[in-house]
Amino acid sequence: MSFQQGLSGLNTSAKQLDAIGNNVANANTVGFKQSQAQFADLYAASLSGGGAAQVGTGSKLAGVVQQFSQGNISNTNNTNDTAISGQGFFRMIGVGGSIAYSRNGQFQVDKNGFLVNSQGHQVAGYQATAGVISVTQGALQISPLPVPPKQTAGIVVGANLDSRSATPVQPIFSTIDPTSYNSSTSLTLYDSLGGNHIGSLYFQRQPLVIPNAGVTGSTMTLAAPGSTGLAIGNTVTIGAATFTITGVTSATIYTVSPPVAAPIAAAAATTNAGSPTWETFLTVDGALVSSAAAVAPQTAGHLATLTFDTLGKLSATAPVSSPLGTLLNVVSFTPANGSLQPLTFNFGTTAQFGGNFSVNTLSQDGYTFGQLNGYSTASDGIILGRYSNGQTQILGQVALANFTNPQGLQPIGNNEWVETSTSGAPLVGKPGTASLGVLQSSAVEDSNVDLTAELVTMITAQRIYQANAQTIKAQDQVLQTLVNLR
């Protein structure tokens, strides 16, 4: 039986060399999984039952098993390229809806916007509509449609109003008179068609009202203690007369200049000292826009009155807002084209501290329409589109599948496999869930072939092949000796 044993050894060694050769040939194939030839021994049936003394009849190829170990991840310059780190396969939709599975993430977009591989098979996943991911799986299509505009609805203003500021010289607000306000800032607003408009906010400190303040000569007397922060240098106006505080005698008595010849009866006075109240005004494209509850005499452009406590925090607004700092009744501004809906202003983070005017937060929720500039795939498979208007939107999510027995998959070439009864049914889900791996954009998974190990194994297989040939040669010599006996 040495001939049979030697022939089986030659055959199995040749099969092993075939597997090694295929591995070496695909050492640079993206997503390729190396194969391993596995063998089994052969025994002939024995009438005597065999036993320990029975000699085998050779070997056979038990199977060629692919090894689904992780390959190295290499970065590329193509944003469509996607690598799987961990378990799982891409689901590829072929002609007629046939499904195949692959680890090769070299993708591109076809003329219809579908994400496909080099064979034109479409990548399966969950499509998104207006940024909402569908629960139904299908072919992923990158929509080239622009993002429609969103008109501004809410505005958040977080500023510091300088508590050291004096009240403006001109008490009646005017956009063209910088002496009628203390500070201003601006932002871009968007109408229903995506047109942009310049919204400007103005802040005007209000004088403090002191009840029952009278002046005799150079002495000002208050009916109640001056606990509002009056100090030397502050100005006080009673009726048509304006005075400057030159000294502090007590909590209710101050010296002022200029002195008066005739006493001024006690009346309500105003001063620039310690005022916790500010008026805010709004213009859009230079036109004054008022809130629904604008107060006289400054109804034009009046937005709200902000009142702060002694710690500099916002304590009240007029009109009254809920939650504190959020105004809901700002009258909309109608431009020539499109329209602005009623605006919501949130001043909740605006404060009055003893520091320079500064704007810490100034944001709005509108934007113009945007064209798709590019997209990328996140680790969880979500394809995020980037648009020319600075917005992002979910375009879809790549699906992955795994198998209880990946070695049971049937290879069909082109780095693709199909399921079999041995592999079990696919377990489909989103990357990063269950046993599924995560994705890396602009990268591919290299072949998992260890070229050095394969070359060493090739040498071993070659030696085994030669050794089996020697057993045949030896058996031939033995047979020749028997034939030559006389």
Determine the pLDDT at residue 294.
59
Looking at domain 154-206+275-364, its CATH class is mainly beta
Query: What is the DSSP annotation of 118-139?
Result: TT-PEEEEEEEETTEEEEEEEE
Q: What does the pLDDT look like over 176-201, one tens digit per residue?
A: 999 999 999 999 999 989 999 999 99
| 468, pLDDT greater than 90 | no
Quick one: what percent of the chain has pLDDT higher than 90? Answer: 53
Q: How far is CA 240 from CA 194, 215, 267, 268, in A?
A: 50, 13, 12, 12
| 6, pLDDT greater than 80 | no
| 419, pLDDT greater than 90 | yes
326 conformational bin, left if phi > 0, alpha if psi -120 to 50, beta if neither: beta
| 329, pLDDT greater than 80 | no
> C-alpha 218: how far from its chain's center?
67
Q: What does the pLDDT look like over 198-220, one tens digit per residue?
A: 999 999 998 888 888 999 999 99
Determine the pLDDT at residue 269.
86
Query: What is the DSSP annotation of 391-411?
Result: -EEEEEEE-EEE-S-GGGPEE
Q: Considering only residues 15 and 4, tell me which one the structure prediction assigns the higher pLDDT.
A: 15
Residue boundaries of the structural domains of the chain = 2-68+448-483, 73-146+379-445, 154-206+275-364, 208-271
